[in-house]
Amino acid sequence: MHERGHFRVSVTKDDLVFASAHFITFAGHRCEGLHGHNYRARVTIDGELDEESWLVFDFIELKRIMRDLCAQIDHLVLLPLEKPRIHVTPGEETVAVSVDGKPRYVFPRRDCALLPIPNTSVEMLARLLADRLRAALDAAGPHRLTAIEMEVEENVGQAAVYRVELREGVR
Ligand SMILES: [Zn+2]
């Protein structure tokens, strides 16, 4: 009988890239111009071993889900919907963006990803991807996962990690 331990499984960045445009507003009046990054994601999941398959979670399935999540925002302009200073108005064909009440951009709608986050920082992108991964894992069926850790890197050495516990009290 083995001790009931915990395992961590990770899928690394090289596979999980999305090249997207964004701009960020900072505290005060500073606002970056539109620019792009080759973002890279890395995900680690914690969980108990499934004692039929001897897996925490199927790598292939995890990679497939993560590739889908990256593809959803790849080659798009990432726009935050929950930032009071940035007003995003989707029309039929275009999306108008104003910052601090001043018109700033108009994008073709098909080129935009309208995201339920307050800023397109790597922190918020990591949280968004973790939330979406969690929903996809839950939809895939019962699992024994206890935590998700999502890292998003926008430049080499510039990354944020978001960790969410999936079951309270499970250690
Ligand atoms: Zn940036």
Structure confidence by residue, pLDDT tens digits, 23-68: 988 777 777 889 999 999 999 999 888 778 788 888 888 999 999 9
Q: How far is the CA of 20 from the centre of ligand 1 (A)?
A: 9
Give the pLDDT score at 83. Answer: 85
Per the prediction, the chain carries an average pLDDT of: 90
Q: How far is the CA of 93 from the centre of ligand 1 (A)?
A: 25
Q: How far is the CA of 39 from the centre of ligand 1 (A)?
A: 10
Q: How far is the CA of 45 from the centre of ligand 1 (A)?
A: 27
Percent share of the chain, pLDDT over 90: 65
Mean pLDDT of 109-121: 96
Give the pLDDT score at 170. Answer: 43
Neighbouring CB atoms inside 10 A of 18's CB total: 23
Q: Using an 8 Å Cβ cutoff, are 43 and 150 in contact?
A: yes
Q: How far is the CA of 58 from the centre of ligand 1 (A)?
A: 33
Least confident of 15-19, 126-130, 149-153: 15-19
Mean pLDDT of 2-24: 84
Give the pLDDT score at 6. Answer: 81
Q: How far is the CA of 154 from the centre of ligand 1 (A)?
A: 7
Q: How far is the CA of 118 from the centre of ligand 1 (A)?
A: 15
Q: Say whether pLDDT at 168 is over 60.
A: no
**Which residue spans within the chain are E strands per DSSP?**
7-11, 17-22, 35-47, 77-80, 86-90, 94-99, 102-108, 112-115, 145-155, 158-165
Q: Using an 8 Å Cβ cutoff, are 16 and 68 in contact?
A: no
Q: How far is the CA of 23 from the centre of ligand 1 (A)?
A: 6
